[in-house]
Structure 1
Amino acid sequence: MKEFENKVALVTGGNSGIGQATALAFARKGAYVVIGSRRVEEGEQTVQLIKDAGSEAIFVKTDVTQAADVENLINKTVKAYGRLDYAFNNAGVEGIIGPSIEQSEDNWNNIIDTNLKGIWLSMKYEILPMLKQGGGAIVNNASVGGVIGIMYGSIYCASKHGVIGLTKAVALEQAQTGIRINAVCSGAIETPMAKRAYSTEEFHAHMLAKHPIGRFGQPEEVANAVIWLCSDGASFITGHPLLIDGGFTAQ
């Protein structure tokens, strides 16, 4: 029997990168997978990858900045599979990188609404079915930018610092309900988002030098951490921001 057989896992932003790798990892563990994201074609492609591998999944178009969308995502998850055991709140944006004094209010709203409000809304609605069934595990996607400052990434860092604070506070609220809530804080991971953010050779080299291990991470390496935090192997861990950063923040 696979570890997560007959369990249900939800991944927001599961259409590419870390989210897609995690959705596939949940499926390999035997879970039914629900993917919520804005991009329909890519989301459906991930669902097909899961089905081709012999597992079951559905896609629900979702904008995590909208409460009605998130509530609909959870309702459709429970309607399809009857429960929700694990959630990886991964949907996020990098926004526009640059000096703080040059940033616009629109960029602030886009980053904060997606990266922080989106995780707050996701947890708000995910916790409800987990309470009814007596437990669950939630992992929020933060970043090394949630524990240190990154020059020219002020708004992004603000959003990710907020994710860690939110994770800790809600983890304490749910500590005696059987619901564990943690975060993953990755360094640079080889994803489409990273390619956009590190588009110049100079900045790519600068960021690579920040990783003592000598390379960027792979989406599967973050997915492995998410799976572990959801597993019984992490049963005494809650409110924890787990660094997966190749030594970035150890310096």
Structure 2
Amino acid sequence: MDLSNAFSLNDKVALITGGSRGIGYAIAEIFAAAGAKVVISSRKQETLNQIADKLKSKGYEVFGIACNVGKIEELETLVKMTIEKYGSIDILVNNAASNPVFGPIHETSLEAFDKIMQVNVKAPFELMKLCYPFLKKSSSPSVINISSIGGISPEFGLGIYSVSKSALISLTKGFAKEWGSNKIRVNAICPGLIKTKFSEPLWSNEKTMDEMMKTLPIKRIGSPDEIGLMALFLASTSASYTTGAVFSADGGHTI
């Protein structure tokens, strides 16, 4: 059996939100290394240009498009510019997320609730719909939604964030069921504690880490690359019979 192309993304176009740092950046670099033409998105064009130049210096094809995923009109522009640049979309990764609060659910304001749901649920919902006409035309279309272990079991202090990530899991399964006839695969990854800027309030807290390590089977923090490599599997033809699945990458936290 020839496995040389098992994880190849040659000539595929991948659109990744929240692609300028952390998990999104790791996915972008790994996809580009696998041969994909990668569009990364985040709020600041200047930052995206720097990231794109960094990856281009490694010989990768990467293009940055600024987009606030909380604004529907900017999502429309993001898809339009991606098509203008590369002519197609084969892979969509919904990675951008927001969590402006940490504390009890009953202390979460309606404003914070709306922002979390807008970015973490409504934006992926809208972006999947916007990409649908182009995904249908792909020979191997794949959507990967970055959820969280909080979407499987709510995390203390992250109540509404966990609710949003649970909704994203359900959204993943709903789209997977309806889009299967178009051969569009839709899967979710649920990271545990990964060392990123987004999760720094957790891994930089010595007390929190001590408590977590008491029960975590793999006693360390995960790396963004470990999520990126799982995403590569789901984006490639190696996962051609996998859809509607929810993959935990959490060191055994949810066992």
**By the TM > 0.5 criterion, same fold?**
yes
The 5 A counterparts of 1:120-199 are 120-133=125-138, 135-199=140-204
Is the Cα contact below 8 Å between 1:64 and 1:121 reproduced in 2? no
1:206 aligns with 2:211: yes
Q: Which residue of 1 aligns with 2:28?
A: 23
Of the three residues 20, 32, 40, the one matched with 2:37 is: 32
Q: Report whether the alignment pairs 1:87 with 2:92.
A: yes
What is the TM-score when the length of structure 1 is the normalising length?
Answer: 0.95
| Maintained 8 Å contact 2:195/2:203 | no
Q: 1:150 is paired with a residue of what secondary structure?
A: coil
Separation in 2, partners of 1:210, 1:121: 38
Distance 1:154 1:178 in 2: 34
Q: CA deviation at 1:219?
A: 0.0
Map 1:67-82 → 2, pairs under 5 A: 67-82=72-87
* CA–CA distance in structure 2, aligned partners of residues 46 and 212 of structure 1: 34
- CA shift at 1:79, angstroms? 0.9
Residue 220 (structure 2) aligns with: 215
Amino acid of the residue matched to residue 64 of structure 1?
Answer: V
TM-score (norm 2): 0.93
CA distance in 2, matches of 1:137, 1:212: 31
Count of aligned pairs:
250
SS at match of 1:33: strand
Residue 112 of structure 2 is matched in structure 1 by 107
Aligned to 1:239: 244
Q: What is the deviation of 1:111?
A: 1.1
State the secondary structure of the residue aligned to 2:97.
Answer: coil
Question: CA offsets, 1:147-180, max 9 Å, x none?
Answer: 1121121101100000000000011110010110
The runs of at least 4 consecutive aligned structure 1 residues that moved more than 6 Å come to none
Find the residue that maps to 1:176 and give its secondary structure.
helix
After superposition, the C-alpha distances for 1:74-129 in whole angstroms (9 at most, x for unaligned) are: 11111111111111110002321101121111211121111111111121112221
- Flag structure 2 segments of 5+ consecutive residues without an equivalent: none
The residue aligned with 1:65 is 70
Report the equivalent of 1:56.
61
Contact 2:19-2:28 at 8 Å conserved across structures: yes
Alpha-carbon distance in structure 2 between the residues aligned to 1:93 and 1:132: 31
Cα distance, 1:45 vs. partner? 2.1
- Asked whether the 8 Å contact 1:15–1:39 carries over to 2, the reply is no
Structure 2: distance between partners of 1:25 and 1:132:
24
Shift of residue 133, structure 1, vs aligned partner: 3.8
Quick one: distance in 2 between partners of 1:4 and 1:10? 13
Q: What's the secondary structure of 1:248's corresponding residue?
A: coil
Offset at residue 135 of structure 1 (A) = 4.6
SS of structure 2 residue aligned to 1:202: helix
Question: What's the C-alpha RMSD, in Å, of the aligned pairs?
Answer: 1.5
Task: Answer whether contact 1:137 1:181 (CA < 8 A) is retained.
Answer: yes
- Per-residue CA distance 1:211-236 (angstroms, 9 max, x = gap): 21000100000000001001111111
Deviation at 1:134, TM superposition (A): 5.2
Alpha-carbon distance change, 210 to 188 in structure 1, aligned in 2, over 3 angstroms: farther
Q: Equivalent residue of 1:236, what SS?
A: coil
* Stretches of structure 1 lacking an aligned partner (at least 5 in a row): none
How many Å separate the matches in 1 of 2:212 and 2:100?
A: 17
